[in-house]
């Protein structure tokens, strides 16, 4: 089977670099195009990407000429991964979909639009049905699929099996988020050395809204939001990669911590069943250590490094009926961003949404 | 008025050093005795204290001979501050109280005992009435007064005026706690560099139990626990000083964020009324900045540095009826430990509990 | 005596903020004008300065209207402190001096020009004589005085008494420089977390050239460079404030570490003799601890916090004839920048160079 | 060919864990025994090793029963790797050698003894001839081979080809050393957060003495120390792994930076020729980036991760005749400790020193 040629829109930033890394040896996809802003277009990738994942830009992409972020510039590919800033994506992604491209996007625009599938493959793969609604409504040849915010993914993955098994009424999350979530230059060292910053712009809204769509039910071509309430408080901590989240949950019925651990440990989704290349064998790993998950370790956990969510400290909650609390952690740029979009694209291909 | 001679039990550790610093120029108290373990007794203070607050041990205490931690060794003082480990305090403090000393203790033992006053002077100064109960029941000449855990103090101070004004039903707290809370050698740098540790032994129990006593009502010589429920998740972050806490509150009746800000800003307690030397003019400061409080700044806030709690990000909560959430921060070793015990002692003196 | 009205050019950055802090309660100077780029001019200082020294901009300056950086906009002041970027200073400072202002500048331009005094008041106060040369040659009513680079100041202060006492032939320095040296947003946290960066643009040249002028002799209206050789390797480390430097020195004649310690400890300069307000009683403090100086402590050392250099670990050197090595540290933004320029201005006034 | 059964003495610490990791899939060696102190002996490895390299102890060793550190307890192995503290190694290693074991040791004792080979395989493999001297003199069946201190290895590897090509007279090194060099609990986070510590006990002596033996010549069964002088200043920085060193060198004859880069890049030693399993294809990698080497990247560089030294910033030196300076960095626990001892053992086997 020939590999599918793919491109990365906004390939020079933190998420873009992880896309490049994940796609370099991908069994199904062939990295064929890298785009960036006008200022970088025409230059060598190694010249414009402040590569931060290792000492050097991988040899295979160092000399690739960066193209402008424009559908006309990437006509040789079928599938586009988007790591653009939301405002740019808002403008460019529809143009790409109209021009016939499939867009698997990590950008935060459009996520809550009713005809845009917002997908975690282990959670709501059936929502891909919105693709047809979207194409028909918008008259596009191509289409756009989104993955959620990095923090949302990290706590919704473990919530999914609990939602199915016990029901969920109410969720409180308090995040301790990594620096890479803000991009390479997003957080000055003087701002965060010996410090934390208890604020991340727009993050709490995303964490409170996206789970309702992800856990919602598809009915008649639209998603009925899940009848749960989520409250979030989001904070930046001096950690390179890995978002850690304290989660307090009011379940729909009583469950012991041991039952919760069992449900989490046994959780497998469609990507595991389909054995998608980027799917970890176990999407949620429960650590037995009393002081885990810690981001320096959890961010690389799993059979596909960075794609598992590690859960620890499952215990009862005194302040909620049927209350449970736990801590979860995953790699915010892999499972929370680039890896999420790649897994979505693998699901698209496996379900016949790619030619 | 002559100064009251005081001693510090366990004077060489992190909290002990803050006691020394706060007492060096105290208007009411005269630092007369420093004690430590047998191993250190007999040596110069500068020799045995790994002083971390500035480049050198303050000249005034450098040459003081450290005494053994024993009531017989401190007979020249009236008041003892305790910064001992809980297990040692459990043994030594009763001996001191029996020998007639007043003990203002930061150690975690005895805090929930029914005849031990657990005091934040702005919150429950009337609980000092337990002193008589305690002396009578135990037959002691002296007595023990406790301050709460550093995290508890930080979030109960802002909860107090909300409790009085609106009522409180339920509280969820998620803490990001400083390294100094674990003592000088408590957290190895290799454990916390580029990392957080989502676990602090016994901390969550303290945060869930102590507020009920602090906000409880004194009736017939005992404290009726407040009818609220608290759930805590406690985490260590790479910050030197300053505990930051995300707080989600279900109030007893509806209140807007603006009303909450007003109540917090106007809050004054008995220490402010009495103008106790270590009392900040404003116990709770509300920051208008969207990204505050941050520990590097908040830990020194207030008219008495380190004694105020800074609150920020007051906003409504989607997941709770009458829900409010905010972030608060204070210096864990000053307002949360040594300063708390000193303020308690000042309250004791102002209320006639010291000769 | 009336205070002299002064202004700060480039008042919003890291160095500018330290100027503001040092000048707020200055006994001789009255802070009358703050300037910034066109973009900020006309706005309140609190609005445009990302104040980082405490939780809030000091009340006294919060509402000051920022002026454009232009001599015409500051006609009510006599003395200007400059914290501008070098390229802007290159253009603006001569215009100010021509317009009659005295400029005490921390910017790196012009430092090695033959008619510009490059001054550390304890080291070469006699070089102020270049002011007359400068005014005559350039036809200016005002004049420019410079302080050296922050790293240079930190190691030249202790070198000065050694140079006078023993002679110096050769110096090797290896710096570990704080984040604040690069400005608030100069070093992204992702670049320096769990990392160091062994490169600081142009820094090594400054460290190798400026000492020769500082230790040089004034002859016939010009400075003869000192006949020493300096080699520097400069590195950035994750520390907020405080440059630490390992120094290896080939002295002109043999000296024991004890003799070196004595000479350093006894060093006093003209600012100490004149009791200038910002002069520490002791410009160089020798720490007896085996593991000092450490920047977290040393940066606030001295009778005027941040104005002393702390030296430690004085020992012989195996690889140099008459070799000595030591470690020194000072606050890079106080003694190394804003405090340096303020001390220079105090010297100017004490020596009659201000009206 | 059957694998050689090996053991690790002191297997629970930082270096011990790296030994375990490197030996788990080693093509020549079979990990057969792990020892630790009496207190840990008899327990499962997973129980006593505070494993820090990933979230969990590797499954293959988790259940191994830790043995006491005693030659009698490891009779089933031929080769012992030593990661013991120096004082314990001083006692145990001779007993092991006498009992017939080959000991490849990272411990710092004995390194400068005249009949103990102190080996970096790329630098002085011929010094293995001291083994015969040692066995004869001490009457041992087995023998001891040492690798140098982690800092020494990092700068001597690049010095070796320069010494051979240009000669070296004088070396100054200033190190910025990682936390792991002090062991898991060696540096409290409170000591190093927002700080550096310019002192590491005994480190400078090792850096000044060991290079003379490493670069020395073997004559008549003893090593003539190299006629060079080394001066070191050693400092701890908040970095997990990777020692970075600024090096100033007086060469024996003039050389341009370009010539130095060429000699470093072309350097290959006996391990490369023999294609030893743990030998990187290139022992010294020269980075062309102006701001490299940085420890977060350099510590994993090379074809065998952690075994290369990365050199950058090669430039002339103003203060030395024939002066050159550069910065070098390597993984202190791999190339600087466990990997060094494993490479030594591979050399032993390849040269016929293992049965």
- D327-345 pLDDT, tens digit per residue, is 999 999 999 999 999 999 9
At residue C50, the pLDDT reads 86
Q: How far apart are CA A105 and CA A91, in angstroms?
A: 13
D199 neighbourhood in chain C, CB within 8 Å: 290-292, 313
Contact D143, D102 (CB under 8 A): yes
Tell which of C188, C195, C240, C242 to mutate to test the A interface (max A CBs under 10 Å).
C188
The Cα–Cα gap between C79 and C5 comes to 7
Query: Average pLDDT of chain D?
Result: 97
Assess whether the previous peptide bond of D293 is cis (omega < 30° from 0).
yes
CB B272 within 8 A of CB B279: yes
Does residue D346 have a pLDDT over 80? yes
Rounded to whole angstroms, how far apart are CA atoms C199 and D293? 9
Relative to beta strand C143-146, strand C102-105 is parallel
Q: Does residue A1 surpass a pLDDT of 80?
A: no
Rounded CA gap, B78 and B5, in Å? 6
Of B233, B296, B319, the CB nearest to A246: B233
Mean pLDDT of B29-41: 95
Other CB atoms within 10 Å distance of the CB of residue C5: 15
Pairing of strands A29-36, A67-68: parallel
DSSP string, D246-269: EEEEEESS---HHHHHHHHHH---
Burial (CB < 10 A; 0-12, 13-18, 19+), residue A11, is buried
In angstroms, the first-to-last Cα distance of chain A is 12
Query: pLDDT tens digits, residue range B324-342?
Result: 999 999 999 999 999 999 9
| Coil, strand or helix at D95 | helix
DSSP lists the bridge partners of residue C36 as C68
Contacts of C320 in chain D (CB under 8 A): 170, 231
Q: How confident is the model at residue A55 (pLDDT cuts 50, 70, 90)?
A: confident
pLDDT above 70 covers what percent of chain B? 100
C199 touches chain D (CB under 8 A): yes
Q: Are D199 and D237 in contact (CB under 8 A)?
A: no
pLDDT confidence bin for B54, thresholds 50/70/90: confident
Cβ atoms A196, A235 nearer than 8 A: yes
| 0.90 surpassed by complex ipTM | yes
Confidence at residue C178, expressed as pLDDT on a 0 to 100 scale: 98
Nearest-angstrom CA–CA distance, D285 and C248: 28
Residue with the larger pLDDT of the pair B355 and C113:
C113
Alpha-carbon distance of B56 to D289, in angstroms, equals 42
* Residue-level pLDDT, tens digit, chain C, 355 residues: 789 999 999 999 999 999 999 999 999 999 999 999 999 999 999 999 988 888 788 999 999 999 999 999 999 999 999 999 999 999 999 999 999 999 999 999 999 999 999 999 999 999 999 999 999 999 999 999 999 999 999 999 999 999 999 999 999 999 999 999 999 999 999 999 999 999 999 999 999 999 999 999 999 999 999 999 999 999 999 999 999 999 999 999 999 999 999 999 999 999 999 999 999 999 999 999 999 999 999 999 999 999 999 999 999 999 999 999 999 999 999 999 999 999 999 999 999 999 7
Domains of chain D in start order, with CATH, are 4-149+338-350 (3.40.50.720), 150-331 (3.30.360.10)
Q: What is the predicted pLDDT for the residue at D355?
A: 73
Residue C59 CB neighbour total at 10 angstroms: 9
Contacts of D126 (CB under 8 A, 6+ apart): D218
d(CA C287, CA C312): 5
Burial class (CB in 10 A: 0-12, 13-18, 19+), B205: middle
Query: Do the Cβ atoms of A174 and B233 come within 8 Å?
Result: yes
CA atoms in the 13 A half-sphere facing the CB of B208: 17
Q: How far apart are CA D338 and CA D344, in angstroms?
A: 10
CA dist C252 → A244, C154, C162, C268, C321 (Å): 58, 21, 9, 21, 9
CB D245 within 8 A of CB D232: no
Interface contact A124, partner B, CB < 8 A? no
Give Cα A98 distance to the centre of its chain.
24
At A74 the pLDDT is 94
Across chain B, how many H-helices and E-strands are there? 12, 14
Q: For residue B226, what are the CA distances in angstroms to B160, B247, C4, C224, C233?
A: 11, 18, 61, 79, 62
State the Cα–Cα distance between residues C124 and C344, nearest whole angstrom.
Answer: 11
- Which segments of chain D are extended strands (E)? 4-9, 29-36, 67-68, 79-82, 102-105, 143-146, 168-177, 217-219, 222-224, 229-236, 243-251, 284-286, 309-316, 323-330
**CA contacts within 13 A on the Cβ side of C4:** 20
**What residues of C act catalytically?**
150, 243
pLDDT of residue A8 exceeding 80, the answer is yes
Task: Provide, as residue numbers in chain C, all residues whose Cβ is less than 8 Å from the Cβ of B55.
Answer: 287, 292-294, 297-298, 301, 310
- In chain A, the percentage of residues whose pLDDT exceeds 70 is 100
In order, the DSSP letters of C121-166 are TTT-GGGGGHHHHHHHHHT-SSEEEE---HHHHHHHHHHHHHHHHH
User: Contacts of residue B295 in chain A, CB cutoff 8 Å?
Assistant: 194-196
Q: At what angle do helices B86-98 and B130-138 cross, to 10 degrees?
A: 80
Q: What is the DSSP letter of B308?
A: P
**In the predicted structure, residue B55 carries a pLDDT above the cut 80:** no
How far is Cα A237 from Cα B238, in angstroms, rounded to an integer? 8
- Checking if the pLDDT of B95 tops 90, the result is yes
* D52 pLDDT more than 90: no
CB nearest to D318's CB, from C194, C229, C320? C229
Rounded CA gap, D159 and C259, in Å?
Answer: 34
How far is Cα B250 from Cα B172, in angstroms, rounded to an integer? Answer: 9
Q: CA separation (Å) from B223 to B117, B128, B207?
A: 9, 11, 18
CA distance D281 to chain A (A): 17
E strand segments, A168-308: 168-177, 217-219, 222-224, 229-236, 243-251, 284-286
Residue B153 has pLDDT above 90, yes or no: yes
Residue C270, classified by CB atoms within 10 Å of its CB into exposed (0-12), middle (13-18) or buried (19+), is middle
Chain A CA closest to residue B289: A199
What pLDDT, on the 0 to 100 scale, is given for residue C160? Answer: 98
Cα A276 to Cα A160, A308, A344, B51, D34, distances in angstroms:
19, 14, 10, 56, 39
Please answer yes or no on whether C55 and B287 come within 8 Å at the CB atom: yes
**What Å distances lie between residue B325 and A159, A204, A205, B260, C125, CA to CA?**
22, 12, 14, 10, 58
pLDDT(B1) > 90: no
Strand order through the sheet with B309-316? B229-236, B168-177, B243-251, B323-330, B309-316, B284-286
Nearest CA distance, C233 vs chain D (angstrom) = 7
How much is the CA Rg of chain A, to the nearest whole Å?
20
SS3 content of chain C, % helix, strand, coil (to 5): 35, 25, 40
Instruction: Please compute the mean of the pLDDT values over residues B256-261 and round it to a whole number.
Output: 98
pLDDT tens column, D248-280: 999 999 999 999 999 999 999 999 999 999 999
- Is residue A293 reached through a cis peptide bond, with omega within 30 degrees of 0 on the bond before it? yes
The three-point CA angle C161-C166-C171 to 5° equals: 80
Q: Is the pLDDT of residue D10 over 80?
A: yes
Residue A355 predicted with pLDDT over 80: no
Q: Please tell me if residue C300 touches chain D, with a CB cutoff of 8 Å.
A: no
Given this model, what pLDDT does residue A186 score?
97
Which residues face C234 on adjacent strands? C175
Query: In A, which residues are within 8 Å of B296 by CB distance?
Result: 194-195
Q: Chain D: residue nearest C299 by CA?
A: D195
Looking at residues B251-263, what average pLDDT do you find?
98
Say what the pLDDT of residue A36 is.
96
Residue B142, pLDDT > 90, answer yes
CA-angle at B259, arms to B256 and B263, nearest 5°: 140
CA terminus-to-terminus distance, chain B: 12
How many residues are present in chain B?
355
* pLDDT tens string B271-292: 999 999 999 999 999 999 999 9
CB contacts of C317 in chain D (<8 Å) are 231
CA–CA distance, C146 with C344 (Å, rounded to integer):
8
**Mean pLDDT estimate for chain B:** 97
Q: Provide the shortest C-alpha distance from residue D124 to chain A (in Å).
A: 29
Euclidean distance between CA atoms A236 and A197, whole angstroms = 5
Q: Which of A96, A120, A94 is nearest to A109 (CA)?
A: A94
Best B14, B182, B189 residue to mutate vs chain D (most D CBs within 10 Å): B189
* Dihedral over Cα of D106, D111, D116, D119: its sign: positive
Is the CB of D284 inside 8 Å of chain A's CB atoms? no
Give the DSSP letter string of B200-259: -TTHHHHHHHHHHHHT-EEETTEEEPPS-EEEEEEEE-S-SS-EEEEEEEEESS---HHH
- Mean of pLDDT over chain A: 97
Tell me how crowded residue D27 is: count the other CB atoms within 10 A of its CB: 9
Q: How far is CA B276 from CA A147, B236, B270, C254, D142, in A?
A: 56, 32, 9, 59, 74
Alpha-carbon distance C274 to nearest alpha carbon in chain D (angstroms)? 34
Q: 3-state DSSP call for residue D153?
A: helix
3-state secondary structure of C312: strand
Cβ contact B319–A195 (<8 Å) = no
């Amino acid at each position: 089977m020939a590999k599918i040629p793919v491109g990365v829109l906004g390939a020079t930033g933190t998420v873009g670099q992880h896309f490049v890394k994940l796609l370099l040896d991908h069994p199904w996809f062939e990295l064929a195009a890298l785009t960036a802003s006008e200022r970088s277009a025409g230059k060598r990738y190694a010249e414009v990407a402040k590569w931060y994942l290792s000492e050097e830009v991988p040899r295979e992409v160092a000399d690739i000429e960066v193209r402008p972020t424009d559908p006309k510039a990437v006509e040789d590919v079928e599938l586009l991964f988007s790591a653009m800033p939301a405002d740019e994506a808002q403008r460019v992604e529809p143009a790409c979909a109209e021009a016939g491209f499939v867009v698997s996007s990590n950008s935060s625009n459009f996520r809550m639009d009713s005809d845009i599938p917002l997908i975690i493959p282990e959670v709501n793969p059936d929502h891909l049905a919105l693709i047809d609604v979207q194409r028909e409504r918008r008259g596009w040849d191509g289409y756009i699929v989104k993955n959620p915010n990095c923090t949302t993914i990290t706590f919704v993955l473990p919530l999914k099996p609990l939602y199915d098994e016990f029901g969920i009424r109410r969720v409180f999350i308090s995040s301790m988020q990594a620096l890479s979530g803000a991009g390479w230059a997003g957080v000055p060292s003087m701002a965060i050395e010996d410090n934390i910053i208890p604020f991340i712009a727009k993050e709490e809204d995303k964490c409170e809204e996206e789970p309702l769509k992800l856990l919602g039910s598809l009915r008649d071509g639209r998603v009925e939001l899940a009848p749960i309430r989520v409250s979030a408080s989001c904070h930046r901590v001096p950690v390179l990669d890995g978002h850690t989240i304290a989660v307090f949950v009011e379940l729909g019925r009583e469950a012991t911590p041991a039952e919760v651990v069992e449900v989490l440990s046994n959780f497998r989704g469609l990507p595991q069943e389909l054995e998608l290349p980027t799917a970890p064998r176990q999407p949620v790993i429960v650590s037995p250590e009393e002081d885990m998950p810690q981001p320096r370790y959890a961010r690389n956990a799993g059979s596909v490094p960075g794609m598992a969510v590690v859960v620890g400290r499952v215990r009862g909650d005194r302040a909620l009926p049927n209350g449970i609390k736990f801590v979860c952690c995953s790699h915010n740029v892999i499972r929370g961003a680039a890896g999420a979009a790649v897994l979505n694209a693998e699901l698209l291909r496996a379900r016949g949404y790619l030619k």
